[in-house]
Amino acid sequence: MFETYEILVMAMLGSFIALIFTGFPVAWILAGLAVVFSCVGIIGYEYLDWDTYYMTNWRIYGTFVQRIYAQMSNWVLVALPMFIFMGLMLERSGVAEKLMVNFVRLFGRFRGGLGVSVILIGILFAASTGIVGASVVLLAMLSMPVMLQQNYSKSFASGIVASSGTLGILIPPSIMLIIMADQLSLSVGNLFMGALIPGLMLGFLYIAYVISSAFLNPKSCELPTDLPPVTWGLIKETLLAVLPPLGLILAVLGSIFLGIVSPTEAAGVGALGATLLAIVNKRFSFEMLADVCRRTTVTTSFVFGIFLGATAFAVVLRTLGGDEFISEMLQSIPLSAAGIVIVILLITFVAGFFLDWLEISLILLPLVGPVVVELGFDLVWFVILFALALQTSFLTPPVGFSLFYLKGVAPPNVTTLDIYKGVIPFILIQLLAVSLVFYFPDIVLWLPQSMYGN
């Protein structure tokens, strides 16, 4: 028989899953359930003699205030609005347009070259912004018309754009990794270093798939016939187009990896660098600055709204014994330690079909993180595995946000079914990347250990 606190924990988690499908804002669902179940716990403790260690009392509302204040005064999270500003400013700076034009002229003459160009720009943009929505929308607007004009199949082009845009959530500087580091009290620099090789590996797996698919199925991407010949001038223009985002990447990530500045200070460097690029490219105006600031405020408010709701939800869930309940449930699975980690990753993958990465990171990760440590695994390695599995949530219907972003700006003749068909191979590639990192932990751990030691 389940004890009272276990029934309440299951009811709280079940209520959250059920209410997600109502379409009500997630931040309000999390905060509302926190208030309801704290009241249930108080009533049970005060009036129904639920005299167990896990039942809550009126002091929990003081805990709400303390935890929310600690969350809002967290110095690490100051990096979020600045990285968001950097991504939005870079989107408007004209850098991506120059990259697309020159990459298409240089690589488009090869079979699958347009697709490879999109992925390379996606990698550069991911390492410059960390914002999936901006990357997907910009790549779609710049590349989809060109690929369709060159008779790329609609599904193939859609899969390339959607998957390339999601690289921003993994390749540092990643907003998701900053939040995960905060939730588990890890070093942001360690997570950034650990994610760099897996993120680049995933991008090059995409490239390998595009090239092999182009040769095995030539009809999916025909060669353009109107490109200029390759000259030293074209190569020079391409290199000059790559240098600004590459310089920004080195300024942000290099300063973090070398220990010159903290991630928060590096975010300020990135925001300033993106603004300077907009000025150099003559795209800057005060109207544009006001629009970027407004969009930064809206995005940051959305993230912190869910943060505060998840904080209240987590306080009540843990007070009711949720940590112990989840730990006991996972450790009671008749599998080895590695098998339990696989089960956690499968739960994460399935949850990505229905929940956004932010809710999963704020609710599930803090619950399973301590279990992984008890099983004897490196937490940095597990977080990158978790992030890779969670990245699929951007591509899996029905809540794949990259699919929504792409559909919103894709040409009218690209259907939702085309997009769904196109992302399936890239979801399988992501699962392959998860498997590689699972079986070869040094893919994650080599760089942090080389830089910082054990």
pLDDT at 448 over 80: yes
Q: How many domains is the chain built from?
A: 1
C-alpha of 405 from chain center: 14
pLDDT band at residue 50, thresholds of 50, 70 and 90?
low
Q: Which residue has the higher pLDDT, 428 or 70?
A: 428
Mean pLDDT for 69-92 is 80
pLDDT at 413 over 80: yes
Q: What is the pLDDT of residue 316?
A: 82
How confident is the prediction for the chain on average, in pLDDT? 82
Kindly state whether residue 2 falls inside one of the protein's structural domains.
no
Ramachandran class of 282: left when φ > 0, alpha when ψ lies in -120 to 50, beta otherwise: left
Q: What is the pLDDT of residue 228?
A: 67
Q: What is the pLDDT of residue 111?
A: 78
Q: What is the pLDDT of residue 227?
A: 65
Tell me, what DSSP letter sits at residue 253?
I
How much is the pTM? 0.82
Q: What is the pLDDT of residue 2?
A: 55
Range of the domain at 288: 76-300
pLDDT digit string, tens, across residues 180-191: 888 888 888 889
Mean pLDDT for 382-401 is 83
pLDDT at 356 over 70: yes
Mean pLDDT for 143-172 is 85
Q: What is the pLDDT of residue 385?
A: 93
Q: What is the pLDDT of residue 432?
A: 93
pLDDT at 42 over 90: no
Kindly state whether residue 388 falls inside one of the protein's structural domains.
no
Q: Find all residues with CB under 8 Å of 418, minimum gap 6, and list them.
A: 154, 155, 158
Cα angle 171, 68, 77 (rounded to 5 degrees) comes to: 25
342 burial class (0-12, 13-18, 19+ CB within 10 angstroms)? middle
Asked if residues 196 and 171 have their Cβ atoms less than 8 Å apart, the reply is yes
Kindly state whether residue 276 falls inside one of the protein's structural domains.
yes
Q: What is the pLDDT of residue 57?
A: 67
Q: What is the pLDDT of residue 313?
A: 85
Q: Find all residues with CB under 8 Å of 126, minimum gap 6, and list them.
A: 135, 167, 168, 169, 170, 171, 199, 203
Asked if residues 393 and 356 have their Cβ atoms less than 8 Å apart, the reply is yes
Kindly state whether residue 421 falls inside one of the protein's structural domains.
no
Kindly state whether residue 124 falls inside one of the protein's structural domains.
yes
Kindly state whether residue 319 falls inside one of the protein's structural domains.
no
Kindly state whether residue 23 falls inside one of the protein's structural domains.
no
- How many alpha carbons lie under 13 Å from residue 392 in its C-beta half-sphere? 26
pLDDT digit string, tens, across residues 204-226: 999 999 989 888 877 766 666 66
What is d(CA 65, CA 449) in angstroms, rounded to the nearest whole number?
Answer: 38
31-35, 100-104, 426-430, 446-450: lowest mean pLDDT where?
100-104
pLDDT at 198 over 90: yes
Which is nearest to 196 in space by CA: 117, 270, 136, 257? 257
pLDDT digit string, tens, across residues 280-333: 888 888 899 999 899 888 888 887 888 888 888 888 887 777 777 777 788 788
Kindly state whether residue 450 falls inside one of the protein's structural domains.
no
